[in-house]
Every structure is written in structure tokens, then in C-alpha cells.
A and B are shown apart, each in its own frame.
Chain A
């Protein structure tokens, strides 16, 4: 059953122009019905439930369907196989059950992928008849004052409701996606598609506005491609991309004075181990374009635009347009996976250390990379004691360069030094370190604190 509800845009139907007004209303109603029908089969109703609360004791949590504040939303069908777009970032490991109604059929969906820069997730339902995917290609834009139809799904009837609304304003988010403001958004419209009176997709409802599909389509296609190729949530972490670069927006006044683009980013540092440095990016370069498109805006918004636009994914190519010494050059590379930090915990000595990256040396202004960095001091341990009130012998971010007379330039050397200390069973050891720009020595009493076999390291 189709129900048309006109929320706004209706003038008075009485008076001398009543006939004309009635005709206009009827025409609009027809157009609305036709337009809504174009997406009716592509909208599904979605509810999120906490698994544990519902199953354990039946308690109606804030996320259970019995609660008054049910975070119900609309999902947009992307493929006939059951891939559905949700307007929510959902951690695949979250303790949530995702219920999807296709008509009056209830399904439980699983999260395939979430994208923080889009603020969306793709979920999948199985064992259903082929669905009707929305036509995300050929999306239209919405002019201010133009009528739009919002198609929301109804969980009670399995049918959809539609509303018409006027487009008021047009804005942007992060300089990347256009936004439309409508005169009214119905409750529970999040995730609902918005079409123009020709039935062409124009946007997707957010909490208070509508995200333009025309800008979203490319990202959605690659998002879908990535989602359908992803096997597990572990793969998700593995696939997060890394550029290995530290950027700062150019000062506007400087840009104008030097006739440089205001929408540009200085390269402060390119990690020696990262893909940007490998591609040839250097400190002092000015990035003015990304993947063939010029950067937009100025100041922190340019940085936001850059982050939203590059959507880092391991294996994804990148291309920077860079101004270097007055010439514009192109630097191309492929994003990699950021190396995972490795930690070594030496409980009997009293600290945890990690390897030092090139970025650590830059960002923390470390005196050397030839050491391991303390990440944690264990309370009551030899490293935590001191003759000085309120101080420990070693502190976080100290760089240990020598332990018991052995160099500790790498984690492997540190492990070897710790092993040697354990074998020697000396009551004290000498630790040499750097703390910021100053070197220091600490004598640790290994009889202090809880003794441990050290097997946990």
C-alpha cells in the first residue's frame, strides 16, 4: 500500500484558485507516487539489538527492540545478493544483532565493512530472493526549491512510506560531499533514499540533512567492491592503508603572497619507511592535488578534505600533485599497511619497550633511533624505584640504548640483553638511556619488586 503524505509546499486549496491548486496538488501526488515507486523495493527497515542483553535476561536495553529509543534506520539495497548500505559505522566485532526486514521477512545481517570517512557500513543478508538494488549510477542533484521524495521503509506493514519535502539549502561536508537541507525530515529517515520527482536518486538521509548521491556514487562503488572482497574483520585491520606522511595546511596569507594555492598542504615529514617517502615525497613539498583532483578549501578544512578524499586502503594507488621549488610534479605510489608496533615486556626489570619508528624520532624529537622506547613502567618494579620523591628511575618514552653493558639498538638486541641479564643473575644492572635531549644512567636493583621468571617477555 502506498501512502503519500505531503508535509510542506502545499498552498491553500480554497478561494478562486482552488481548482488550479487542486490540480497542482493532484499532479504532485501522482508524481510523488511514481517517484517513490522507483526506489520502493530498494529500501529495507533495519534495527540494531544488543545480543547479550536480549539473550541473557531479556532486559530491554537501549538497543533492544522493546526500548522506546530503538535506533531503527533504513537500509539501501546495493546488490541483488543482499548487500545493504547502512548509515552507521558498525564495528564488525560489536555485540550487536542487525535485523533487516525485506517486506515482512525478517533477516539477520552480518557486517562486511565499515568506513569511518563515509560514516557507513555494508551488511549482508543471505537466503533471500534476489533483491532490487537501487540505481546509484546516474544520480541527479537537487536544486534549492526543488521537490524531493523521501522513501522510508515501514516495519509494521513491510511497505514503505514516502514524504515530499522542499530542498532549502545546499552545503558541503569536508569539502567532499554536497549536502541538501530539506524543509522537514521525517522521524526514522536515516538511511532512506531521496529521489527527485523524476524518480532519480539524489541523496541519502542523514540525521539532519541529505548526503548527495552524485558525490557519493564513486566512493560507494569502491566501498562495495572492497566489502564484497573482504573475508573477515581481521582482514579489515590488515587492509587499512598508510601514507606515512605528516602534513600541515599552508598559511593563507603566505599562499596569497607567494601566489600558491590556498588549498594545499605542506609535507612536514615523510616517514623513511613509508610509501610516500618511497614514492619520492620530501619534507617541504607542497601537495596541491590528490588523485588528479585539486585540493579544496583552506586551513584545517583542506586537511579534512584530504583525509576524506584519500580513504586510505592498503594496495590503493595514490597520486599527489606537488609543488617543489616552483615546479609542479606528480608523485605516484601505493599505500601500504602500517607496520604494527611490536612490544617486549620485561617484567623482572620493570618495563615494556617497543621499536622506534622514523615517525617517532620526528614527532617526539628523540635524540636517537638506535634504541628501544619505554612504553610502560611496571609499578613496584626495579625500574619504578627511585631515591627521588615522586620520580621513577625510568619513565615512559625513555630510549634505552644499553642494558647491562649490551647495546639495545633493536628489539632483538634488547631481548638478547635481557636474556643475558637473566642468565648472569646479577643483583643490579646498569641501564643507559636518552630522555629527550639528555642521556642518563640508571642502576636497577633486580631484587626489588615481584620476581618473575621472565618467560612472559
Chain B
């Protein structure tokens, strides 16, 4: 380093320390003691997609953050968190984290790290007893800048017009991307809430989930892995704002505006137009939207499976009678995608058909104004795909495939895959679209028609097996499933191939031998039948493919394959390197007739499937 620069830095450092020493404690917006206390409790979070902030809530490593900070990017299963999450403490120690559960609204996630020594948890404020104008400060990692403190006021404590399920706090403390999941503290350093997002394009408008809401969600995530809402399906409420109260001639209560036909709320006796005045004997009323959301929140976190008594006023003004009805609280079915919810329903996707369906739940009917038909909901109909050529559209309800009713995704998959396995040229679909009943036909392009494939995986760890089988079948391949004990757990459907014990498999009988499974696939490394099948297939010039840990079985079964470029999961790379294999570390590797993948996530496995298809078409 240039000595002059060195000198300048020293002088500057001396100046800073002088200034620091001279700082008047009364000038500090946040007391020094508070800063020192909260600083170790706030963490930075990073993963393969992005990151954010969080804070420690227990000495043994539980951390709260936002759902959107840890959510993965698996469109087919939005309940999947990011795969590789790292927590960075304020002293730069780093730990891999496990996601115990997350919710998108309220925007809360609970993660856990295993630290070697006790951590410093935060203290909580009473977020029900907050005031507008109260001083507060945020700590987090805005735009990647760790340990950033920003200060301000609680600008509003009843914000309800953002489309969230609960009210949120508004603050003018700077909240920027990366602050997400970090804490908003009161002046004493107690957590008021979980910073969640800011109004884009505006200054100093940030929003925070109240900590009492976050802690209620946290209890669910810790005990059940997901936030389970308790509801009486389904009725809707409105607060009695001034004009509504005046026009009804009733000043207290909540108006029941909608009761779903044939749903438990209707069966219990609730009617649209009833005015709800007590729940379980306790008076309930809301004059504002915030009060209404507060009431609904208190109800939604009560245990499902318990009875509830609603006392309502019924009839025209002046002639109203008091009626009490009893209903049962139920656990709300998984949420579809809407508003701030990314959804909790996995998609059953056939990539080569461009067709994806999800289970149809009652909330779908309300959100999308769907008819009361039994079927599965089309959620993907890709442009230019067989699905689009058939005229399928998102939000169509498929009620029958090839004449078979499809009330569930399982029934849909069974009916469709039976036709795919038979390479049916035009598969009939019966749809309900709005109020129209439509019949059409799906004409798949069977690029792997009549190719024989065997999919080998351990019966106790069939990760991605169903996805691989389903896509290969949709491409026209004939797929047999094999495991050492012949009891592979993939969702094989009638007519889509055999379930065979591995000893019965001959590598020469197949165009492609594909090994899969999660960590359990390591058992195949020493399985003589697996090694024999690889050896037979390699000697016969067949295609060989493997996912993640299963990759090592290829060079173990056919040592000549070490010259082929291949890849595996990060944890198993040492095994390949130990075999002197040509390990590249790429997510998908295709070298001649050997195709491998890390199996990192579903999108990686889909690219692996494309590589298999290309290889089979190019190297037949």
C-alpha cells in the first residue's frame, strides 16, 4: 500500500474515533445499549435466488423472517422453500438453515439453524398496544448492506387497504429490498413487527406485520409446518361503516354479506343479511375495516374442529329477531393462488403436453367465479402446445378424460396416462368453461413413441420418480419401474408399465436405463443388480441416465464411462472424483449416450428430461 494512503487512513481513523468519543449520548436516536443488544439478534439470509433479513427468537436457533424471503421458485409446487439457505450472523458466522414452514399472507416464515453456542434472541413488544407517531427503527440487510439501522415513526397502525389478510403497520423508517424479514423495533429495542415490503416509487412508506400476528403464525409453522386457518366455510362479513349502519338501523355488529350455497355455514343456518352480534357469547362488532380484520384474525387462529356459536339479528329493521346458530370450525383447505398468496396447491404438469392441472377447491369457485362442476382445474396451457391446440385454457375445469370422470388429480392422471401409454392419437377431454360444456381432444406428439425405458430407484426414496415417469410416458415411451425389492413408490398408473424387481431387469432390453431417487439412491452403488444392469446397457450401447446421488452407479457399473462428462449432487461429487470420473459440476450434463443431472430442483430435472429426449432422438 502507498505509505501516503496508509497515513491518510490512519489520520481519518483517528479523527473518527475522536468524533465517536465526543458523541453526546442525547444525540443518539437509538441508545447505544439498545443497539448493542439488538445487533446480534438480526441476521442476513441468502439463498440461490435472493435473500433478506431475519431475527433470532430463541437461543437454540429459531429465526423469524418473511415467507417471501425463503420461498422457492418452483411454480409447480409453491409450498417448496428455496433449496440452499444460509444465515449470516452479525459476526459473519454462517450456518445452513432449515425451513420449518412459511406463509405468504401473513408474510411469515420460521427457519432454524444449529449454532454451536446459544444465540441472542430478541424481546417482543405488545404490538396490540401501539400508537401512531411512536418512534421505531428497522434493522436489516437492505440491498445486501448488512447491519443497516434506519429510524422513523409508526405512520399508521391500522393499514388495511393493501389486500392483506391482517392489518399491517406503516412506517417511515426506510424499508428497502433486503430489509424483508427484518425486525421493526420500538425505541427500547423490542420487536414491534416483521418488515415485509415497501411502497415502490414512493418515499418512506414501508409496511410491517405486527409481531402478535407473526407469533401466532409461528406457532402453527413450528407445530404443523404450515399455517392452518380455522374457518366455517364460507361466509363473508362487512364492517358496519356509518352509511351501512344507518341504512340497516343497527350500530353494532358485523353484517353477513354472503353465505356460500350448500356449504357448512349455510347448513348451520347463517343467511346473507344477518347481523352478527356475538361469537361464542362474546359481543363482536366492527365499525372499521381494521376492526373487522382484527375480529376475523382472532377467529382464524382458533383451533379447527371446535364448535362456534354465532348470535345474529335477522329480519327487517324494527322486526329483527335474535337467533343463535352453532357451526363447526374447520381447517381451511389448501389455498389457491390469489392476491398475495402464491398458493398451496401443487400442479400436476405434463411439460411435453404443455398441460398442468391443480385440484379444484371451493375457494377457486369464489375467486374465479367458477361453476359447481367436479373436476380438476387447468392451470397451465402453454402456447403452441398440444394443450393449446386442443383449445384448453387456464381455468377450464376438466370433468372427464376419455370418458372417465376426473374429480381428483389422481383420477385425472390415471385416465390420461392410460391413454398416453396406449399412444392414443386423440384423447377426449370434457370441460366446463364458465357456463359452457365443451368436448375437445388432445393430440400428443409422441416423440419417444415405443421407446423402452426402465426407471430404477430405491423403493424408500423415490424423489422425482413420478415426474420422470410421467413425462417419459407423455412423450410416448414405455416405462417400467424397478427397485431392488420391486416395490417402488412412484404413482404408477394402470397401463403405464410394469413394477419389477431389479434382479429381473436386463439392461439390454431397454433403450434407456434411468437411475433416480434422493439420498437413498446411494444404496444402489453397491447393489450388484444395479451394477449389472449398467454394465449390460453400456456394453449394448444403450442410453444411461442418472439423477443426483444415483450418478455414481454408472462408473461403478461400467468403469469405461469415467471418460464421459457427468455430474451429480454437490454432496456426492467426492464419490465421482474418487472414481476418477469426468465430473463437471454442471446442473445437467449430456455426453453421447450418458446424461446426468445434479437433481438440484424440479426445473433442473425438467432440463435433464429434455436432454434425455434430445439424446434419444439424436443417437438412436
Chain A residues packing against B (C-beta within 8 Å): 246, 248, 251, 253-254, 256-257, 266, 268-269, 283-284, 361-363, 365, 387-390, 405, 426-430, 432, 436-445
Q: Interface readout for B384-417 with A: 1 if CB under 8 Å, 0 if not?
A: 0000011100000000000000000000000000
In contact, B443 and A253 (Cβ under 8 angstroms): yes
Q: Is B246 an interface residue (CB 8 A)?
A: yes
In contact, A387 and B443 (Cβ under 8 angstroms): no
Question: Complex Cα distance A389/B391, Å?
Answer: 39
In contact, A443 and B366 (Cβ under 8 angstroms): no
Question: Complex Cα distance A438/B242, Å?
Answer: 22
In contact, B434 and A363 (Cβ under 8 angstroms): yes
A442: shortest Cβ distance to chain B, in Å? 7
Question: Complex Cα distance A444/B289, Å?
Answer: 17
In contact, B247 and A429 (Cβ under 8 angstroms): yes
**Other-chain contact of B434, A257, A365, A442 (Cβ < 8 Å):** A365
Q: Interface readout for B223-265 with A: 1 if CB under 8 Å, 0 if not?
A: 0000000000000101001111111100000010110000000
Q: Is B273 an interface residue (CB 8 A)?
A: yes
Question: Complex Cα distance A246/B244, Å?
Answer: 41
The 6 closest A-B pairs by CB, nearest first: A443-B244, A443-B243, A389-B161, A254-B441, A430-B247, A253-B426
Q: Across the interface, which residues of B come within 8 angstroms of A444, CB to CB?
A: 243, 247
B370: shortest Cβ distance to chain A, in Å? 8
Name 9 A/B residue pairs within 8 A (Cβ), A-sorted: A246-B436, A253-B425, A254-B426, A256-B426, A362-B434, A436-B369, A438-B257, A441-B273, A442-B244
Q: Is B442 an interface residue (CB 8 A)?
A: yes
In contact, A269 and B438 (Cβ under 8 angstroms): no
Do most interface residues of chain B lie in helix, strand or loop, or is the interface mixed? mixed
Q: Is B562 an interface residue (CB 8 A)?
A: no
Q: Which residue of A lies closest to B255 (CB)?
A: A441
Question: Complex Cα distance A437/B442, Å?
Answer: 31
Q: Is B586 an interface residue (CB 8 A)?
A: no
In contact, A445 and B242 (Cβ under 8 angstroms): yes
Residue from the set A390, A429, A437 with the largest chain B CB neighbour count within 10 Å: A437
Question: Complex Cα distance A444/B248, Å?
Answer: 11
Question: Complex Cα distance A253/B424, Å?
Answer: 11
Question: Complex Cα distance A268/B122, Å?
Answer: 62
B161: shortest Cβ distance to chain A, in Å? 4
**Other-chain contact of B248, A284, A362, A430, A439 (Cβ < 8 Å):** A430
Residue from the set B245, B316, B435 with the largest chain A CB neighbour count within 10 Å: B435
Q: Is B371 an interface residue (CB 8 A)?
A: yes
In contact, B441 and A443 (Cβ under 8 angstroms): no
Question: Complex Cα distance A362/B371, Å?
Answer: 11
In contact, B442 and A388 (Cβ under 8 angstroms): no
Q: Which residue of B lies closest to A246 (CB)?
A: B436
B159: shortest Cβ distance to chain A, in Å? 9
Q: Across the interface, which residues of B come within 8 angstroms of A363, CB to CB?
A: 434
Known: A248-B438, A436-B369, A443-B241. 8 other contacts (CB 8 A): A248-B436, A283-B437, A388-B289, A426-B247, A430-B248, A440-B238, A441-B244, A441-B273
In contact, A443 and B246 (Cβ under 8 angstroms): yes
Q: Interface readout for B138-177 with A: 1 if CB under 8 Å, 0 if not?
A: 0000000000000000000000110000000000000000
In contact, A269 and B435 (Cβ under 8 angstroms): yes
A430 in contact with B244 given A363-B434, A440-B257 (CB within 8 Å): yes
Q: Across the interface, which residues of A come within 8 angstroms of B365, CB to CB?
A: 437
**Other-chain contact of B366, A284, A405, A437 (Cβ < 8 Å):** A437
Q: Which residue of A lies closest to B256 (CB)?
A: A441
Chain B residues packing against A (C-beta within 8 Å): 160-161, 236, 238, 241-248, 255, 257-258, 272-273, 288-289, 316, 365-366, 369-371, 389-391, 425-426, 428, 434-443
Q: Across the interface, which residues of B come within 8 angstroms of A439, CB to CB?
A: 257-258, 272
Residue from the set B236, B247, B258, B390 with the largest chain A CB neighbour count within 10 Å: B247
Question: Complex Cα distance A254/B442, Å?
Answer: 8
A253 in contact with B390 given A365-B434, A430-B244 (CB within 8 Å): yes
**Other-chain contact of A253, B238, B258, B442 (Cβ < 8 Å):** B442
In contact, B238 and A441 (Cβ under 8 angstroms): yes
A428 in contact with B243 given A253-B441, A283-B437 (CB within 8 Å): yes
Q: Across the interface, which residues of A come within 8 angstroms of B245, CB to CB?
A: 443
**Other-chain contact of B371, A268, A365, A405, A440 (Cβ < 8 Å):** A365
A438 in contact with B390 given A268-B438, A430-B244 (CB within 8 Å): no
A362 in contact with B238 given A251-B390, A254-B426, A257-B441 (CB within 8 Å): no
Q: Across the interface, which residues of B come within 8 angstroms of A436, CB to CB?
A: 369
Question: Complex Cα distance A59/B160, Å?
Answer: 59
Q: Across the interface, which residues of B come within 8 angstroms of A361, CB to CB?
A: 435
Residue from the set B238, B257, B366, B390 with the largest chain A CB neighbour count within 10 Å: B257
B362: shortest Cβ distance to chain A, in Å? 11
Question: Complex Cα distance A432/B426, Å?
Answer: 48
Q: Across the interface, which residues of B come within 8 angstroms of A405, CB to CB?
A: 316
In contact, A438 and B438 (Cβ under 8 angstroms): no
Q: Across the interface, which residues of B come within 8 angstroms of A426, CB to CB?
A: 247
In contact, A283 and B436 (Cβ under 8 angstroms): yes
Q: Across the interface, which residues of A come within 8 angstroms of B443, CB to CB?
A: 253
In contact, A438 and B437 (Cβ under 8 angstroms): no
Question: Complex Cα distance A362/B435, Å?
Answer: 6
Question: Complex Cα distance A432/B248, Å?
Answer: 12
Q: Across the interface, which residues of A come within 8 angstroms of B425, CB to CB?
A: 253, 257
Question: Complex Cα distance A427/B243, Å?
Answer: 9
A425: shortest Cβ distance to chain B, in Å? 14
Q: Across the interface, which residues of B come within 8 angstroms of A442, CB to CB?
A: 244
Question: Complex Cα distance A442/B246, Å?
Answer: 11
A387 in contact with B438 given A253-B443, A439-B258, A440-B257 (CB within 8 Å): no
In contact, A269 and B436 (Cβ under 8 angstroms): yes
**Other-chain contact of A427, B246, B248, B439 (Cβ < 8 Å):** B246
In contact, A387 and B258 (Cβ under 8 angstroms): no
In contact, B258 and A440 (Cβ under 8 angstroms): yes
Question: Complex Cα distance A251/B288, Å?
Answer: 52
A282: shortest Cβ distance to chain B, in Å? 11
Q: Which residue of B lies closest to A266 (CB)?
A: B438
Q: Across the interface, which residues of B come within 8 angstroms of A437, CB to CB?
A: 365-366, 369-370
In contact, A251 and B434 (Cβ under 8 angstroms): no
B446: shortest Cβ distance to chain A, in Å? 14
Question: Complex Cα distance A334/B16, Å?
Answer: 93
Question: Complex Cα distance A390/B246, Å?
Answer: 23
B537: shortest Cβ distance to chain A, in Å? 36
Q: Across the interface, which residues of B come within 8 angstroms of A269, CB to CB?
A: 435-436
Question: Complex Cα distance A430/B371, Å?
Answer: 28
Q: Across the interface, which residues of B come within 8 angstroms of A440, CB to CB?
A: 236, 238, 257-258
A438 in contact with B440 given A253-B426, A362-B435, A428-B246 (CB within 8 Å): no
Question: Complex Cα distance A432/B255, Å?
Answer: 12
Question: Complex Cα distance A444/B442, Å?
Answer: 51
Question: Complex Cα distance A405/B247, Å?
Answer: 10
A426: shortest Cβ distance to chain B, in Å? 8
Q: Across the interface, which residues of B come within 8 angstroms of A390, CB to CB?
A: 161
Residue from the set A266, A284, A428 with the largest chain B CB neighbour count within 10 Å: A428
In contact, B371 and A428 (Cβ under 8 angstroms): no
A443 in contact with B248 given A269-B435, A283-B437, A387-B241 (CB within 8 Å): yes
Q: Which residue of B lies closest to A447 (CB)?
A: B243
Question: Complex Cα distance A421/B247, Å?
Answer: 12
Q: Which residue of B lies closest to A446 (CB)?
A: B243
Question: Complex Cα distance A256/B440, Å?
Answer: 11
Question: Complex Cα distance A257/B428, Å?
Answer: 9
A268 in contact with B258 given A253-B390, A442-B244, A445-B243 (CB within 8 Å): no
Question: Complex Cα distance A253/B248, Å?
Answer: 57
Q: Which residue of B lies closest to A389 (CB)?
A: B161
**Other-chain contact of B428, A254, A266, A430 (Cβ < 8 Å):** A254
Q: Which residue of A lies closest to B434 (CB)?
A: A365
Q: Across the interface, which residues of A come within 8 angstroms of B435, CB to CB?
A: 269, 361-362, 365
Q: Across the interface, which residues of B come within 8 angstroms of A389, CB to CB?
A: 161
Residue from the set A246, A388, A390, A426 with the largest chain B CB neighbour count within 10 Å: A388
In contact, B238 and A438 (Cβ under 8 angstroms): no
A251: shortest Cβ distance to chain B, in Å? 4
